[in-house]
Structure 1
Amino acid sequence: MDDQRMIRSFLAEAPPSAEVIAEGRRRVLAQAKPRPRPRGTTFRLGLGGLGVATAAAATAVALTVSGGSPASRTMPTTQLTAQQVLLAAAQKAASEPVGRYWHSHVIDGQAYHVAKGDYVITGARHEIDQWIARTDGDDDVFRSRFAGAIPQTSADRAAWQRAGSPSTWRVLSNGQYIAQTATPDKWDLVRTTPAQRKGYEKMLARARKECAAKPRICPAAQQITQAQREALPKDPSALRAYLLSPGGKGGPSAALTNAAHFLAKPGSPKLRAAVFRTLAGMQGIRNKGRTTDVRGRTATALAARSSDARGTFDVELLLRPGTYQVLGTETVLVSGRGAETQGMKPGTVFTQELFLEMGWANTAPR
C-alpha cells in the first residue's frame, strides 16, 4: 500500500491572509502616484466591510490574468514572494479541522515522446483512492489502478489524431523500451479492518526493533511513525532535515517534493502548518506565479531548479490561490538532454503527481 500518495478535498475560497494584506498595504503606501492600469488587467475586489485601505492592499497584490505561451506555462503576475505565500499557507493549515477519515485521490504519471507523429503522452499513470480512519473503530479502504496513457496537451492530442490515434506505444524509460496502453486497468480494492490494522502495526513495530538491533539488515531510509511525524514541529531542525532528505542534504527541489508527500498523509493542523513554515525558511524556492496544471486547474507555482542526466527542470509545488490547498507537484522541463527528453519542448510536464481530492471527511468511504 503506497500511503505516501494522498490528496486533499477542495476548500472554499478564503479571505486574504494577514501576510497578503500587510504586503499589499506596504506596496500601496510606497507609491507616490497610482500607476495606470495595464490593459487586460483584472483585479479581485469584493472585500465588503474591510474598508478602503484593506481593499487597496488586496488590489495591490491581486494577480494579473493574461495568456501564456506553451513554453512558459505561468502567467505574468504582480505577486507575493514564495516565503509570503508559504507563511499564508501555514496560517490557513493551522485552522483546518480534522474529521473521521482522511480521504485522498491522487494520480501520477510521466511524459514520453512518441517519435512517430512527434507528440508527448503521459503514461505510467498510477491512480490511488483511499480512506484512512482516524480512530480504531472504522475500516481503511484502499483502491488503486493503472490508468490509461493519454496525450498530454491539446496540441499533442491533435498530433496523435493525425498519426491515426494509436492506443498502444513503445517508449523509452530508464534506458529501456516499455509498453504503454490507453486502456486503463480495473480497480483493485483492499479493505483493512481495525483488527488487521493493529496486526500490521505490531509487525512494523517488530521490524523496527530488529532494525535498531541490526541496522545492516534494514534499508537506510525507514518510514517514520505517525507519532514521530507529529513530534516534528517541536524539532524544526529535524523536520527540515526530513524534507531535505536524503540525509538532510537534498536541495529545495527535493524539499518541495517531499513536502507534498508529507502533506498528503493524515496530520494535525499544527504539523501541516509546520511543514509550510519550514519551506518558507529555505532559500532557492521562488514564486513563478499563476499557472494551470495538466488538468486545467489554476494554481500558484512555487518552484526550485533541479538538473540530472535527462535535463534541467523546475520542480513545482502547486497551491490553489486563496485557499492554499495543495494540488500536487509537477516537474517541468526547462531544457532537455539525453534520450528520454529528446523531442520534448521546454514547458513539457515531465513528471506529475496531482491531488484530485485530499482532506478530512466525515462521510463513509464511497
Structure 2
Amino acid sequence: MSDVLRTLREARPDELAPDAPVDPEVRRAELARAMAGGPGGAAGRAVPLPRTAARRWRPVWGLGLAGAAVAAALVAVSLPAADDADPGAGTSVAGGPVRTLDAGTVLLAAAAKTEARPAGAGAFWRVAKVDTRYYEVGEPGARYTIAVGSEHESWTPREPGGEVRSRQRELGARAATPADAAAWRRAGSPSAFSVEVPTTPGGGKLKPLRVTTAPGRVETSSSPLVDGDKVFWLGRNVTMKDLRALPADPAELKAELLRWYEGHDTESSSRPMEADAWLFRTSVGLVTDMPVEPRVRAAAFRMLAGMESVEGAGEVTDSRGRTGQGVAIDEDTPLGTIRHRLVIDPASGRALADEQVLLKPAAGVERAAGTVLSSAAVTAMEWTDSAPR
C-alpha cells in the first residue's frame, strides 16, 4: 500500500470504515426512503418506520367471489419454451445473493405509493390473473417439474342487480425451467401428464387430473351477483357499499376485519386458524382482487406492516418473470410447512402475485424444500366501462 493510501486510511473516522456495523433503524430508514421515492425524486412524504421485533410465520389467502370458481381450475403456459425465470425465492435474476428487506419497509413503501394513486371510476371492476400450479412428473430418477396454468378475467358490476362476467382460457403445460425442459425432451417430449390436485384448502385430499401441452379455447360466462348485491368475500360476503365503507386507518381496518374472524380457516370451518394468519389471507384478497379505494388498500399494507408474524421473503421472481419483494407468513399443512407469499413491485407499490412455497415437506412428500406450488399473478386491476357480452 502506498504512503498516501495509508495516510488516508489512518485518517478515516471509525464510523466510515467499510466494515463498520450500521444501525438497523438507520438502514431501514434509508431503504424506506429509497423505495418510497418516485421517478425523478422522493415521494414527498416521510415513510414511518416499522417497529423492530423478532418475526415469524403463519398462513394467508383470500379470494373474491367472482374468481373463486376459476381459482380452483388448473392453469398453464407451453412446454418446450421454458425460457421464463425460475420462480424460486432468495436469488436475483442474475443468480447472485440478494438483500432481504424488512417486511415493514416493503409494505410501508407500497402503502405510500398506493395512496397517491387516483381512485378511478367505471361501471365494472376488472381483474385479470394468470394462475399457475407446479407439478413433478416423469419416471423415478428422471422427474421434472411442469407449470400448468390458466388466465382469467372477471368484470364485477359496480351497481347491485347485475351479473359478474368472466373469461378464461387454459394455457397448456410447460416446463418450469430450462433444466426441466431438457428432462422433458429426454423423456420423449410427452404432450399429456397425469397429476394430482388438492380438493381441500390445506392440500390434504388429492384427486387425479389429466393435463396437456395444448392451450384451450377462450370461454366466457356470466352469473348473477350472490343475493343480488354481494361481490367479494372478506371474512363474509360483502357488497360494493361495504367495501366503500372500509376505514382507511390501519388499526380501524384491522378491527373491522376481525369482527368476522371466528377462529377457523377462511375456506373451511373445520380447520383452526390463528388471527394473524386469517388477517394475512383476507388482506391479500383485499389488495389483489377488490375495488377498494387506494387509501384503504394502503391501510391494508400498513396493517400487515404492523404484524410481527409477517416477514420479508426477499427478492423473488413471479410466474410471469416479474421481479419484486416478497412478504410472507408460514402455515403447517398436511403437505408440510407452506409459505404464503405476497410479491410486491417496489417501483409501483402494486401487488404482483400471491404464491405458495413448500418450505419443509412433510414425511412422504416427494417435493424439494423451496418448491413453488402455485402462483396467482395479477396482470390487471382497474375500473372500466366495458365488459364482454
Superposed pair shares fold, TM > 0.5: yes
2:132 is paired with a residue whose SS is strand
Give, in whole Å, the separation in 2 of the partners of 1:126 and 1:257.
22
Deviations 1:304-335 (A, max 9, x none): 22221111222110001221111111111222
Displacement of 1:229 in angstroms is 2.6
Give yes or no for contact 1:71–1:346 (8 Å, CA) kept in 2: no
The answer to whether structure 1 residue 83 and structure 2 residue 104 are counterparts is yes
Give yes or no for contact 1:81–1:286 (8 Å, CA) kept in 2: yes
Size of the alignment, in residue pairs?
A: 292
1:166 is paired with a residue whose SS is coil
1:312 is paired with a residue whose SS is strand
Give yes or no for contact 2:253–2:299 (8 Å, CA) kept in 1: no
Give yes or no for contact 2:90–2:98 (8 Å, CA) kept in 1: no
Q: Which shows bigger deviation, 240-249 or 152-161?
A: 240-249
Give, in whole Å, the separation in 2 of the partners of 1:190 and 1:140.
8
Displacement of 1:177 in angstroms is 2.6
> Residue in 2 aligned with 1:319?
344
Structure 1 length as normaliser, TM-score? 0.67
Deviations 1:30-83 (A, max 9, x none): x9205279xxxxx99998677xxx9xxxxxxxxxxxxx9997544444454211
Deviations 1:154-212 (A, max 9, x none): 222221121111111112333343212222322122368xxxx6xx466458xxxxxxx
Runs of 4+ in 1 over 6 A off after TM superposition: 43-47, 68-71, 362-366
Displacement of 1:99 in angstroms is 3.0
> Residue in 2 aligned with 1:226?
240
Give, in whole Å, the separation in 2 of the partners of 1:188 and 1:172.
24
Mark the CA change 1:99 to 1:158 in structure 2 (over 3 Å): closer, same or farther: farther
1:357 is paired with a residue whose SS is strand
Give yes or no for contact 1:318–1:327 (8 Å, CA) kept in 2: yes
> Residue in 2 aligned with 1:351?
374
Give, in whole Å, the separation in 2 of the partners of 1:70 and 1:99.
34
The structure richer in helix per residue is 1
The answer to whether structure 1 residue 295 and structure 2 residue 320 are counterparts is yes
2:117 is paired with a residue whose SS is coil
Give, in whole Å, the separation in 1 of the partners of 2:373 and 2:41.
45
Equivalent in 220, 241, 264 of residue 189 of structure 1: 220
Amino acid at match of 2:380: E
Displacement of 1:338 in angstroms is 4.9
Give, in whole Å, the separation in 2 of the partners of 1:128 and 1:69.
22
Mark the CA change 1:176 to 1:122 in structure 2 (over 3 Å): closer, same or farther: same
Residue identity over aligned pairs, in percent, reads: 29
Give yes or no for contact 1:142–1:190 (8 Å, CA) kept in 2: yes
Structure 2 length as normaliser, TM-score? 0.63
Displacement of 1:262 in angstroms is 1.7
Give, in whole Å, the separation in 2 of the partners of 1:254 and 1:354.
21
Mark the CA change 1:304 to 1:356 in structure 2 (over 3 Å): closer, same or farther: same
Equivalent in 284, 289, 299 of residue 274 of structure 1: 299
1:229 is paired with a residue whose SS is helix
1:90 is paired with a residue whose SS is helix
Give yes or no for contact 1:256–1:316 (8 Å, CA) kept in 2: no
Mark the CA change 1:337 to 1:79 in structure 2 (over 3 Å): closer, same or farther: closer
Mark the CA change 1:127 to 1:78 in structure 2 (over 3 Å): closer, same or farther: closer
Give, in whole Å, the separation in 2 of the partners of 1:252 and 1:226.
25
Aligned residue runs from structure 1 range 107-256, under 5 A: 107-116=130-139, 117-123=142-148, 125-134=149-158, 141-173=165-197, 174-190=205-221, 200=225, 203=228, 222-233=236-247, 234-240=252-258, 246=265, 249-250=273-274, 252-256=276-280
Deviations 1:268-312 (A, max 9, x none): 123212211221121211112211112221110112222211112
Give, in whole Å, the separation in 1 of the partners of 2:172 and 2:213.
4
Give yes or no for contact 1:169–1:180 (8 Å, CA) kept in 2: yes
> Residue in 1 aligned with 2:290?
265
Q: Which shows bigger deviation, 344-353 or 127-136?
A: 127-136
2:105 is paired with a residue whose SS is helix
Displacement of 1:106 in angstroms is 0.7
Give yes or no for contact 1:257–1:329 (8 Å, CA) kept in 2: no
